[in-house]
Structure 1
Amino acid sequence: MTVMAAHEPPRAQHDLLEVFLGLDTPDGYRAELIEGEIAVSPPLSGDHEDLIDLIVDEIRRKSRTRMQCSGHKGLAVPRSDGLFPPNHLIPDVTVAPRDVRLFRGAPSWMEPDGVAMVVEVTSGRAGLDRVDKRYAYAQGGIPLYLLVDRDQESVSLFSEPLRDDYKEVVSAPFGEGLPLPDPFGFELDTGDFI
């Protein structure tokens, strides 16, 4: 569902943000504002949630640094083109060092400063995760973006954000390990992703 496009005049962009923030989505649905368009997603499947659970479990058990994970935390990410409104994204998982206590007292839409990694598991609109969200997370300077692509049966780690994309990407098919750098410092086991 698209309400207004990014090429609208500045006043329309402010109106778009107001419309977005005032949305009353049905229970279980989530709305995001990505590159000037509103995207509404239905509740996620059990298989989607199972993959998230596997990843969060590994992060909590194996990371060198104790991590806190938030499912579906709203991030307000400035756009690299300087256009208004900023992207408003809801990653499947947002990860930060536990000692930072990043989520305590945070507003519904927080800035991404202090986020170590975001995780997305593809669903019905995989292109948003593969392209649009990747660019938006890079624009926000989020150091790591982990993409679990269920259609391609692969997992990719994007790192070293530079302007509107990541400079580095390492991928592995489901069933093979994927190294996660510090502050994680372990190999993600994707054997159960199949």
Structure 2
Amino acid sequence: MSARSTRRPQMTLDDFEALERGAPETVTLEFIAGKLEVKPVPDGDHGAIFMWLLRQCMQQRPELDLHPEQGLVVEHYRAGRARPDGVLAPVAHFAGQGEWADPTGALMVVEVTSHDADTDRHDRWEKRDGYAAVDIPVYLLIDRQSCTVAVHSDPSGGSYRESPSFPYGETVKIPDPVGITLRTEALKDYAA
């Protein structure tokens, strides 16, 4: 058992949800690996990257929606709460599920890194592990610091077995069940 899984959480899940409900609209809170996380407010380049990806998904898979900031119940024993930058799922999949949806049926989660000190731990490790733990088929990480696109896929036993990374400019094939191809040349315009 890893050190992360044996640590005591900072608070209970009920306490987190009460705190999150009372947070101002300008603050996005997550509960990852038993810790309260404050998600940075996205900048203009972050938003432009998300819109680029949204257009790619809509053009290639119009029967799917890329939901921005959809809250998901994640991690072992459903003890975490995350708001990925995007969740790819069938049209209207999350209708009626409320603020923290069951991740079952989500095909892909997306994170675009922010320029903050916690990005390495938060997006590259803890969230990745949380998404794998609930068997989300694909975790797409658009990493603005390293100018790469990482495609984590084939979850098994709480981790992703495949994790190739591609520099901006390469063509990136997202495996099934997503089945789209990203031409990432445009991402160079938003390099850090």
Task: Give the structure-1-normalised TM-score.
Answer: 0.85
Percent identity over the alignment is 34
Residue 82 of structure 2 corresponds to residue 89 of structure 1: yes
**Unaligned runs of at least 5 residues, structure 1:** none
Work out which of the residue numbers 102, 107, 110 in structure 1 matches 2:101.
110
Given that 2:152 and 2:164 are in contact with CA atoms closer than 8 Å, whether structure 1 keeps it comes out as: yes
Alignment partner, residue 134 of structure 2: 140
- Residues 1-194 of structure 1 mapped to structure 2, 5 A cutoff: 7-8=7-8, 16-23=12-19, 24-63=22-61, 66-79=63-76, 82=77, 86-98=79-91, 101-123=92-114, 124=116, 125-127=118-120, 128-194=122-188
Q: CA deviation at 1:7?
A: 3.2
Given that 1:6 and 1:37 are in contact with CA atoms closer than 8 Å, whether structure 2 keeps it comes out as: no
Q: Which amino acid aligns with 2:165?
A: S
Deviation string for 1:28-61 (max 9, x for gaps)? 2210000110001231111111101100110010
Given that 1:6 and 1:36 are in contact with CA atoms closer than 8 Å, whether structure 2 keeps it comes out as: no
Given that 1:96 and 1:116 are in contact with CA atoms closer than 8 Å, whether structure 2 keeps it comes out as: yes
Aligned length: 179
Aligned counterparts of 2:104 and 2:180: Cα–Cα separation in 1:
23
* 4+ long deviations beyond 3 Å: 5-8
Task: Give the structure-2-normalised TM-score.
Answer: 0.86
Aligned counterparts of 1:169 and 1:78: Cα–Cα separation in 2:
19
Aligned counterparts of 1:122 and 1:50: Cα–Cα separation in 2:
13
**Unaligned runs of at least 5 residues, structure 2:** none
